């Protein structure tokens, strides 16, 4: 690809010689690894100097660049340019359409155009798989599951029966969608299982990491709305509704029937209790424990969760508690002395 | 099913016309979704009014009902009635007995009556699978594993060699039972693996969620006693003994050689250190970290865990720490002033 | 095995009759379970008395033993002797070399001597598997994966394409290595996936527990250095570098681009934020949350993490906060009184 071809593909403006050929995108660190044919990225002048001194053939910049001996592409956001260039230079291997001879596909299954079902994968009766979707080795797609177009179900992932995924949904290996919710009722001393007869609906453009668990609802549906991204080892209980463009970092857990509104961000290992409403745009820092509903737009921390600013201040004093206790004891002593003398 | 037939099946008393036909159980919310042929549930007068105004044909109530134009079934506990009705109206699909042609079953395997082994499942040499048990697609049952009757091993679950499950045990997808405990010993600077030659015993009526990990013991056995229910992504280390009717919510972790007595409840993300005894009926709220043994019947919270009541009070003051510190500083100033004047 | 043969195998000194035959190693508790032919272990005089009174034929001791009617082997460390004896008495079943007929092996795959590929396992095009390595049932080895010698990939584990494992690496069931890192960039309101084109490198003698997730790097590599041991359900994000001889207990999570230096120990459920450096030999107790880099050799606790000693003291006062607050209120009252009287 020449620079002149690349610039419009990444939404950037070419500065300098457009005929330079680019074969690879590579990070500016370590600069010694950069070679002729590489394009690298500089978010600031500091990185620009490193990039300019390296053997890279061109640089993507997101600021007003100084005079440069190398050709440049100027963009608004280097990370977005990186994402686009990685798609261009590292194209995903094209898997041959068709069902691998070792896979098992049941009765009444609908396979769209260009669908790939990998070795030892299983697609059960009545499932429907949209155009160009991929079911990798050892993955199991349950009875009557509906998969949209351009989905990727990675190896050894499991989709239980009767659930529905939209278009461009990615499910990484080991993840389980549609397992039974954790619901029991006591009959004397015996716990009776409440049959979990609901479903899971995953909308378009959702990505689900590795070894995630998303339970089906008791009745109705557990829902993950469009554009939401879920990292590895996350737990989503039955009846949870997750809004649009939500981010769950790794090891987050959300208990049953809680609603997470659009654009919420939960950092790693955050836990959310059941039957709550987490308002639009709430951000919870890592390991936050959320026992109550949270108003939209709040940034929270701690366990139990409080506003992040309060938590930062209180946490700073927490470690000084021994000193604070000593000060109180000293005050008591001084005051007693004073009282005695009065 | 007519109401007259349904009432005894759910242990309830019929009030009104028993000839009404019921085809579905549905929640009272949203009432607009209820149709003729539905039965719904009302735990309180508020829900009863909604249910009564809807198109549902009958209502299950757990209190002294007002006069009703609709026929009713009166029960002690609506959730128990719900569990029973869901079993009646949503019967589980009956899987054909037999070994799927794509499954692999090793030598000296004992398969009970009505056993189903699904596509691409693996049952290794010497395993024994009780009557009517199901091994779903892609699940692996290791050498000499003993599975009781009426078990369900969901897709892509893994049972390592030489472990024992009782009757009516359910293991959800992605769960791993019998992996090696985390045991090493230093030989100079090198960590030598301690072979984990023990086993795992899971008693009757245990349900294990998705992506759970239960390690085999170094020697002896990791044990999960009857009636215990384990949610998704839980970690149970080697040599742990979990009593009867215990509940572990999602993402709980229990370290090695700890004993959890009967009827303990650990909420989501609770962690328990190794070599402890958690007494009968202990309840730990979400994210509690338990570094020491706990007396029976205690409710605990926090990290390190303290009695829940103390934790609630202390947590309320935690967020006021900046104010408290300021008050101490003011006291010091006022006292110094007073001392100077004396 | 006779005692005389056993003593040098476990690096110990024989005391007494070396002709005694040993058939099993068993723990001293319960002593009633010990039989003739057993060897047991005693770390202290208390255990020695129990062992001596039992039916065991011999005892391994790690201290100057009293006069004994039973033959003994004296070692430096009983746990190390246990590890060695377990390897001797519980030898791992030897799996037949070869590819199981139900497994699928792609094109251009290199299989070393004595490699075992189990039922319904999948080894994709271009993979290379070293001598004596085992790929168990249902495991998936991706395209061009390089596996060293004497590795064990347990059932239903997944190795994504183009990753590299050294010699003697063990990966337990359900674990996923090489899934995409959690990387997105906003393009307006849409999150664009940053292609994760890097790799994962796992060096020699690493053991990875069940249901672990290790993501591939965006560019470059996620690295786990030699001798590191990782327990179940651990999350390692893209671009993380984990040093040598590190221990991660269960449910630890490490966010992207963080470096964990050699000999670090993270206890259960510890979380580490991204882009940090955790210095050599750092120890973090269970559930610690680490938001900043940590100096080598520090022991830390709490959330946010502080030195363990400070945390212990502060935690002890945390639960007394209601009393402390009351003392401050009393001081205020007494002081006001005094001020009024002045």
pLDDT tens across the length of chain B (342 residues): 999 999 999 999 999 999 999 999 998 888 889 999 999 999 999 999 999 999 999 999 999 999 999 999 999 999 999 999 999 998 778 899 999 999 999 999 999 999 999 999 999 999 999 999 999 999 999 999 999 999 999 999 999 999 999 999 999 999 999 999 999 999 998 999 999 999 999 999 999 999 999 999 998 899 999 999 999 999 999 999 999 999 999 999 999 999 999 999 999 999 999 999 999 999 999 999 999 999 999 999 999 999 999 999 999 999 999 999 999 999 999 999 988 886
User: Within 13 Å of residue B308, how many CA atoms lie on the same side as its CB?
Assistant: 11
B253 contacts C233? CB cut-off 8 A: yes
Chain A residues with beta carbon closer than 8 angstroms to that of B227: 190-191
Which candidate in B90, B174, B204, B330 is best for mutational testing of the A interface (most A CBs within 10 A)?
B174
Helices A308-318 and B321-341: crossing angle in degrees, nearest 10, is 50
Chain A residues with beta carbon closer than 8 angstroms to that of B90: 195, 197
Q: How far apart are CA B150 and CA C215, in angstroms?
A: 38
Number of other residues whose CB lies within 10 A of the CB of residue B291: 17
Identify whether A313 is preceded by a cis peptide bond (ω within 30 of 0): no
A197 contacts B82? CB cut-off 8 A: no
C138 contacts B138? CB cut-off 8 A: yes
Chain A residues with beta carbon closer than 8 angstroms to that of C273: 268, 286
Q: Which residues pair with A202 in a beta bridge?
A: A165, A224
Chain A residues with beta carbon closer than 8 angstroms to that of C187: 80
Structure letter (DSSP) for residue A301:
E
Strands B13-15 and B116-117 come out as unpaired
Q: Is C172 a catalytic residue?
A: no
Q: How far is A317 from chain C (nearest CA, A)?
A: 10
Chain A nearest-CA residue for B269: A271
Chains near B (3 or more Cβ pairs under 8 Å): A, C
Per-residue model confidence as pLDDT tens digits over A7-45: 999 999 999 999 999 999 998 888 889 999 999 999 999
Q: How far is A6 from chain B (nearest CA, A)?
A: 43
Residue of A158, A127, A121, A171 whose CA lies nearest to A145: A127
Q: How far apart are CA A15 and CA A187, in angstroms?
A: 75
B193 contacts C207? CB cut-off 8 A: yes
Q: How far apart are CA B16 and CA B263, in angstroms?
A: 40
Q: How far apart are CA A105 and CA B88, in angstroms?
A: 30
pLDDT at A133 over 90: yes
Give the A:C interface size as CB pairs under 8 Å. Answer: 191
- Give the per-residue pLDDT at C243: 98
- Residues in Cβ contact with B104 at an 8 Å cutoff, skipping those fewer than 6 apart: B121, B122, B123, C100, C102, C119, C120, C137
Residue of B206, B205, B272, B288 whose CA lies nearest to B240: B272
Strands B13-15 and B72-74 come out as antiparallel
pTM: 0.96
- Residues in Cβ contact with B220 at an 8 Å cutoff, skipping those fewer than 6 apart: B198, B199, B239, C27
Q: What does R_g of chain C's alpha carbons equal in angstroms?
A: 27
C124 contacts A138? CB cut-off 8 A: no
Per-residue model confidence as pLDDT tens digits over A283-342: 999 999 999 999 999 999 999 999 999 999 999 999 999 999 999 999 999 999 988 886
Give the A:B interface size as CB pairs under 8 Å. Answer: 192
Residue A53 DSSP SS3: helix
- Give the per-residue pLDDT at A92: 79
Write down the residue that tokens 């107790």 correspond to.
C285
- Give the per-residue pLDDT at C94: 84
- Give the per-residue pLDDT at A342: 67
Calculate the average pLDDT of chain B. 96
Which candidate in C303, C331, C332 is best for mutational testing of the A interface (most A CBs within 10 A)?
C303
Q: How far apart are CA B285 and CA C140, in angstroms?
A: 39
- Give the per-residue pLDDT at A2: 96
- Give the per-residue pLDDT at B342: 67
A160 contacts B138? CB cut-off 8 A: no
Write down the catalytic residue from B90, B116, B238, B275: B238
More confident position, A221 or B31:
A221
- Give the per-residue pLDDT at C342: 67
Cα dihedral: B4, B9, B12, B14 (round 10): 0
Q: Which one of C143, C269, C335 has the shortest CB-CB distance to A335?
A: C335
Where chain C has pLDDT below 50, the residues are none
């Amino acid at each position: 690809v020449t620079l002149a071809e690349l610039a419009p593909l990444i939404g950037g403006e070419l500065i300098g010689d457009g005929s330079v050929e680019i074969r690879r995108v590579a990070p500016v660190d370590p600069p010694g690894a950069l070679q002729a044919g590489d394009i690298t990225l500089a978010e600031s002048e500091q990185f620009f100097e490193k990039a300019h001194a390296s053997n890279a053939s061109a640089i993507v910049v997101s600021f007003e660049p100084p005079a440069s001996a190398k050709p440049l592409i100027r963009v608004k956001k280097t990370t977005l340019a990186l994402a686009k260039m990685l798609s261009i230079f590292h194209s995903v291997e094209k898997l041959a359409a068709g069902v691998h001879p070792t896979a098992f596909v049941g009765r009444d299954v609908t396979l769209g155009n260009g669908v790939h079902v990998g070795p030892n994968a299983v697609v059960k009766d009545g499932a429907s798989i949209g155009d160009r979707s991929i079911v990798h080795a050892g993955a199991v797609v349950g009875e009557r599951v509906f998969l949209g177009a351009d989905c990727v179900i990675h190896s050894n992932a499991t989709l239980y029966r009767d659930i529905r995924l939209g278009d461009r949904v990615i499910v990484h290996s080991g993840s389980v969608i549609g397992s039974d919710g954790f619901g029991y009722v006591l009959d004397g001393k015996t716990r009776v299982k409440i049959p979990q007869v609901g479903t899971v609906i995953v909308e378009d453009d959702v990505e689900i990491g590795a070894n995630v668990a998303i339970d089906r609802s008791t009745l109705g549906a557990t829902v993950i709305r469009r554009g939401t991204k879920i990292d590895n080892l996350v737990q989503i209980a039955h009846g949870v509704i997750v809004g649009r463009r939500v981010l769950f970092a790794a090891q987050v857990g959300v208990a049953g029937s809680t609603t997470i509104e659009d654009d919420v961000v939960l950092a790693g290992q955050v836990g959310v209790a059941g039957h709550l409403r987490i308002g639009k745009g709430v951000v919870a820092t890592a390991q936050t424990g959320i026992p109550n509903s949270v108003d939209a737009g709040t940034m929270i921390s701690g366990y139990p969760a409080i506003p992040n600013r309060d938590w930062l201040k209180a946490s700073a004093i927490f470690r000084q508690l021994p000193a604070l206790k000593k000060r109180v004891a000293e005050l008591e002593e001084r005051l007693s002395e004073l009282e005695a003398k009065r």
